[in-house]
Amino acid sequence: MATKVFVPRVESLASSGIDQIPTEYVRPESERDHLGDALEAEKKSVNGPQIPIIDIKMFDSEDEAVRKQCVEEVRSAAVNWGVMHIVGHGIPAELIDRLREAGKRFFDLPLEEKEKYANDQSSGMIQGYGSKLANNASGQLEWEDYFFHLMFPQNQTNLSIWPRYPPDYTEVTKEFAKELRVVMTKMFNLLSLGLGLPAEKLEAEAGGMENILLQMKINYYPKCPQPSLAVGVEAHTDVSHLSFILHNNVPGLQVFYDGKWVTAKCVPDSIVVHVGDSLEILTNGLYKSVLHRGLVNKEKVRISWAVFAEPDKEKVLLRPLPELVSDDAPPKYEPRTFAQHVRQKLFKKEQEAAAK
């Protein structure tokens, strides 16, 4: 039997009392530009550009002008930013609080308990408790541990690998998945209308209710003694169609806008929504897959709940929608399955790392 690779947990490093982080966590000079303590970055960012905040309850209005305004705000945010805060989403605050509490209680467990859920990336078992493995020669690591599992559709989830503690984890997470799935349809509808397409178009293209997968990743970012040298999550775009992010009200998320890193504000009762690569491809680049990263800080543990809405790996062909392609707007992307897209992206990254 193959032995599991030993993976150091960032949590145990952080709690060991070190005041200097190991070299694998120190980002290269080129990437350290404007890295820093997330709490200070948030304070400094008050006067700069801000990620749009959109009340999607407007879309339920009786008044057509109000609905149109909602579509326009979503379209503009997806085109110009590739990210937005949505409020008025309708998921009960009490359910979101329970979800946050469940995730926190799991991560509060002793390390040996969490290790019982350890994933094994070398054998393709990616669900479970994990930390980033170095995937390039420079051995670069990120300042976070995580828990990853499929959350929806329910008939494809494997509940046996979900946290069994706290006891309500499964119930709360299932309930949240159902609620978020409704919000997701609403976002797809808004984004379709924003392109002048029928409301149902994008979700149907993405695979519809049966085939869109919701993948949950709980990111756990321990306190970091040298936040200006490390990142929680390195700069990347998500491969999903859309990603939804909740957090424990500790700042850390930054998005790249107009040539600069913008620190996301903690907007009460909001969910951050990212456009990912898959949607960028479908829309022939009209909606932008946003480049983003996660900063860490010295004082507070940050936890975020990222839910990725992904197409089936093989069943759906990602390609610019014919309706959005013309002589003036030739296709910018080659057709590919989601699995091919993920592989190509990884390959490109490895090549870039090797060239450094």
- Contact characters 221-260, ligand AKG, x per CB under 6 A: ------------x----x------x-x----xx-------
- Tell me if residue 234 falls in helix, strand or coil: strand
Look up tokens 């609403």; give the residue: 186
> Nearer to ligand AKG by C-beta: 273 or 318?
273
What residue 219 binds from ligand AKG, Fe ion, none (CB within 5 to 8 A, per partner kind)? ligand AKG
Find the farthest-apart pair of alpha carbons in the chain and give their distance in angstroms, rounded. Answer: 64
Catalytic residue check, 265: no
- Pick the catalytic residue: 68, 223, 236, 345? 236
Instruction: Kindly state whether residue 238 participates in binding Fe ion, applying the rule CB under 5 A.
Output: yes
Task: Assess contact for 292 and 232: CB atoms under 8 A.
Answer: no
Q: What minimum distance in Å lies between the beta carbon of 78 and ligand AKG?
A: 17
Which one of 84-92, 232-240, 308-316, 333-341 is the stretch in contact with Fe ion (CB under 5 A)? 232-240
Is the bond preceding 251 in cis, omega lying within 30 degrees of 0?
Answer: no
How many of the other CB atoms lie within 10 Å of CB of 26?
16
Catalytic residue check, 236: yes
- Pick the catalytic residue: 149, 217, 247, 288? 217
How is residue 258 written in tokens?
Answer: 């107009």
Which residues in 274-293 contact ligand AKG (CB under 6 A)?
Answer: 292
Over its C-alpha atoms, the chain yields an Rg (Å, rounded) of: 20
What residue 205 binds from ligand AKG, Fe ion, none (CB within 5 to 8 A, per partner kind)? none
Task: Assess contact for 54 and 77: CB atoms under 8 A.
Answer: yes
Residue of closest CB approach to ligand AKG: 304
List strand residue ranges (DSSP E) for the chain, in order: 53-55, 83-87, 128-131, 145-152, 213-221, 233-236, 242-247, 253-257, 260-263, 271-275, 292-294, 302-310, 317-318, 336-337
What residue 253 binds from ligand AKG, Fe ion, none (CB within 5 to 8 A, per partner kind)? ligand AKG
Residue of closest CB approach to Fe ion: 238
112 CB-side CA count, 13 A = 0
> Nearer to Fe ion by C-beta: 238 or 310?
238
What residue 103 binds from Fe ion, ligand AKG, none (CB within 5 to 8 A, per partner kind)? none
> Nearer to Fe ion by C-beta: 59 or 143?
143
Instruction: Kindly state whether residue 42 participates in binding Fe ion, applying the rule CB under 5 A.
Output: no
What residue 157 binds from Fe ion, ligand AKG, none (CB within 5 to 8 A, per partner kind)? none
What residue 100 binds from Fe ion, ligand AKG, none (CB within 5 to 8 A, per partner kind)? none
Catalytic residue check, 292: yes
Q: What is the Cα–Cα distance from 57 to 220, expressed in whole angstroms?
A: 31
Q: What minimum distance in Å lies between the beta carbon of 261 and Fe ion?
A: 14
What residue 311 binds from Fe ion, ligand AKG, none (CB within 5 to 8 A, per partner kind)? none
Q: How many residues bind Fe ion (CB under 5 A)?
A: 1
Catalytic residue check, 34: no
**Cβ contacts of 39 within 8 Å, gap of 6 or more:** 250, 251, 297, 298, 299, 300
- Answer for which of 207, 227, 294, 311 binds ligand AKG (CB under 6 A) is 294
Q: What is the Cα–Cα distance from 274 to 213, expressed in whole angstroms?
A: 16
Residue 57 buriedness (CB in 10 A; 0-12 / 13-18 / 19+): middle
Q: How many residues bind ligand AKG (CB under 6 A)?
A: 12
- Pick the catalytic residue: 89, 238, 247, 277? 238
Q: Is 17 left (phi over 0), alpha (psi -120 to 50) or beta?
A: left
> Nearer to ligand AKG by C-beta: 52 or 331?
52
Q: What is the Cα–Cα distance from 219 to 198, expressed in whole angstroms?
A: 35
- What are the C-alpha distances in Å from 323 to residues 33, 188, 189, 196? 40, 16, 16, 10
Instruction: Kindly state whether residue 310 participates in binding ligand AKG, applying the rule CB under 6 A.
Output: no
> Nearer to ligand AKG by C-beta: 105 or 236?
236
Catalytic residue set: 217, 236, 238, 292
User: Which residues make up the interface to ligand AKG (CB under 6 A)?
Assistant: 217, 219, 233, 238, 245, 247, 252-253, 292, 294, 304, 306
